[in-house]
Amino acid sequence: MAPPRSFLWSRRIFLTLLTGFVLVPVYVMVSSSLKPLADVSGQFRWLPSGLTIRPYIDIWSTVPLARYFVNSLIVAGAATVCSVVIAVFAAYAVSRYNFRGKRVFTVTVLSTQMFPGILFLLPLFLIYVNIGNATGIALFGSRGGLILTYLTFSLPFSIWMLIGYFDSVPRDLDEAALVDGCGPLGALFRVVVPAAIPGIVAVAVYAFMTAWGEVLFASVMTNDTTRTLAVGLQGYSTLNDVYWNQIMAASLVVSVPVVAGFLLLQRYLVAGLTAGAVK
Amino acid sequence: MTTTVPAKAEVRQSSPGTADGPRRRPGRIRRIGLPYLLLLPALLLELLVHLVPMVIGVLMSFKELTQFYIRDWTTAPWNGIDNYRMSVDFNAPVGEALLHSFLVTLAFTLLSVGLCWLIGTAAAIYMQDNFRGRGLLRALFLVPYALPVYTAVITWVFMFQHDNGLVNHVLHDQLGITDKPSFWLIGDNSFIALLTVSVWKGWPFAFLIVMAGLQNIPKELYEAAALDGAGMWQQIRRITLPSLSPVNQVLVLVLFLWTFNDFNTPYVLFGKTAPQAGDLISVHIYQASFVTWNFGAGSAMSVLLLLFLLVVTGVYLVATSRGRRTKHA
């Protein structure tokens, strides 16, 4: 059935406005990253007076961007791997077994989703400082400590979403595998995990994105050597000059990997959300 | 689904030689213990990153925990409910500021969630059927969501600059709507700035979820409605929107909690000390704790915030009552 004119017109207007709203900051980011400093210091101009790739060269020396990049990569990567692996086991247990305490577990996991990060920040900060003082293990300021704290966000979400996803994998499949002689772990890894790949990818993408973009814990729990991009990017604003062209160039460099990864994998994320969050 | 089961059964029959004795049937202890074994890593971590910090957080809220006791928080003196009394004493500076911050956060959250839902739902419905450029537009719409928060917010900070920002250039220089360049990151305008950034960053999530929800609506419903002579708009009002309601219940709750707890956006937008009009509660508590170094008061505020969210969520879940959690509970 052909949509009526009113629908088509309102759609055109709405989608045009929305595209503008979405695109303007993206345009500002891209165009400003190619402008000479004079262009971004004075009045805003839509078109640059001259194009330069200078900002892309300078970003690496103004602040130790490469180091922040590596730190972010390690922290976000490790947090992602940990939360996916742990969540796969937990979600499998909840999805396939009945056991005492299951209700308590799921309710706890679900409810930690809504806890404000600030609630955990203060105690974790003190726990890390105290562990450091008592044992000499430097959790505070270390990448390990940051990885651990990032699990506060990604783990509940991952478990929650994977339970829903595993539920959508027909039980008959892994029961057949059990009858075939697979152990429960064999059934998990040979049948359930492969069938739930979209959900697992979705969870991984989500975990990586939250860790890559997190600011609060990163700004409190890191030091000069472990600083992540989220905090390190603030280094481009010196007292005299704010290098907006460099800030935009660095922002783009930092964003491109996650945005590209997300756009490539968004199909899985949508599929994962359908199974996990919507049903 | 029905076709895969016989297929599996065939595989089973065709490979009878794989039987390897005791592993075929897990023992009774293993069967009972296994779920717990699978849960163990998650339990340990939940304990470490959620439960222990929460218990300590509650304990901290009853202590006079200033910078002098950070080296060993357990030695900080108890001060009973003083931190709580101070936080809810709305006539004194601390309580008054907290109440103000709470109200700002509430107004901000309701507006942001409402707008995100509205834009996301409209976009998802408009893009339900195929048209030229749909795939490209869809990918573009997900970009704000995919961008790391700080890069997105930093770009907005640049756009909101007083002297060299795009917003003032457009509103003042080009359109002449404002008679002089405005300050966006200080003063009352900061609320508008915060809301704009939050909606820009947040609506694609609503878009994603609603799109996913739309896929679950059976096509037959629309066909039947069309046969009955219902137009497009009627179909949207009578079929699409009501069918989305279970999805919306989850979506609105999640958006509310995320927005209410959001720290990253205001922190990157304003820095450690937010202007009054944009003083969201997370940053407010952060400031009370790490800038004025009163962890006891900060913890009490966190606990109060958590209690509020628990009550809101509880009421919400009871009110909508068809929440998905009943499925596993």
Q: DSSP letters along A112-180, please?
A: HTTS-HHHHHHHHHHHHHHHHHHH----TBSHHHHHHHHHHHHHHHHHHHHHHHHHTS-HHHHHHHHHT
Q: Which residues contact B123 (CB under 8 A, 6 or more apart)?
A: A14, A15, A18, B141, B203, B207
How confident is the model over A80-102, as a mean pLDDT?
Answer: 91
How confident is the model over B6-24, as a mean pLDDT?
Answer: 41
Nearest CA in chain B to A43: B164
The reply to whether B110 touches chain A by the CB within 8 Å rule is no
Query: Any idea which residue has 């490539």 for tokens?
Result: A264
Q: Which residues contact B52 (CB under 8 A, 6 or more apart)?
A: A123, A127
The reply to whether B47 touches chain A by the CB within 8 Å rule is no
Residue B229, phi-psi category: left (phi > 0), alpha (psi -120 to 50), beta (remainder): left
Nearest CA in chain B to A98: B35
The reply to whether A223 touches chain B by the CB within 8 Å rule is no
The reply to whether B125 touches chain A by the CB within 8 Å rule is no
Q: Which residues contact B326 (CB under 8 A, 6 or more apart)?
A: none
Flag whether pLDDT at B8 surpasses 90.
no
Q: How confident is the model at residue B184 (pLDDT cuts 50, 70, 90)?
A: very high
CB within 8 Å: B119 and A127: no
Nearest CA in chain A to B4: A173
The reply to whether A41 touches chain B by the CB within 8 Å rule is yes
ipTM for the complex shown: 0.90
Flag whether pLDDT at B201 surpasses 60.
yes
Range with the poorest average pLDDT among A11-15, B151-155, B162-166, B288-292: B288-292
Flag whether pLDDT at B106 surpasses 80.
yes
Residue to test with chain B: of A11, A45, A119, most B Cβ within 10 A:
A119
Flag whether pLDDT at B271 surpasses 60.
yes
Kindly report the pTM of this predicted structure.
0.87
The whole-angstrom distance between B11's CA and the closest CA on chain A is 9
Nearest CA in chain A to B265: A215
Q: Which chain B residues are Cβ-neighbours of A176 within 8 angstroms?
A: 5, 8-9, 11-12
Handedness of CA A104, A77, B258, A167 (dihedral sign): negative
Q: Which residues pair with A222 in a beta bridge?
A: A141
Q: Which of A4, A148, A255 minimises the CB distance to B148?
A: A255
Q: Which residues contact A159 (CB under 8 A, 6 or more apart)?
A: A87, A90, A91, A94, A109, B42
Query: In terms of DSSP H, where are the helices of chain A?
Result: 5-32, 37-41, 54-62, 65-96, 102-112, 117-135, 143-167, 171-179, 184-187, 193-195, 197-213, 216-221, 229-232, 244-273
Rounded Cα distance, A129 and A140, in Å: 6
CB within 8 Å: A18 and B211: no
Nearest CA in chain B to A117: B261
The reply to whether B260 touches chain A by the CB within 8 Å rule is yes
What kind of architecture, by CATH, is found in domain A63-242?
Orthogonal Bundle (1.10)
The reply to whether A256 touches chain B by the CB within 8 Å rule is no
The reply to whether A115 touches chain B by the CB within 8 Å rule is yes
The reply to whether B307 touches chain A by the CB within 8 Å rule is no
pLDDT at A275: 60
Whether A243 and A37 have beta carbons less than 8 Å apart is answered as yes
DSSP state at residue A237: B
> Residue B311, Cβ neighbours under 10 Å: how many?
10
Q: How confident is the model at residue B17 (pLDDT cuts 50, 70, 90)?
A: very low
Whether A158 and A232 have beta carbons less than 8 Å apart is answered as no
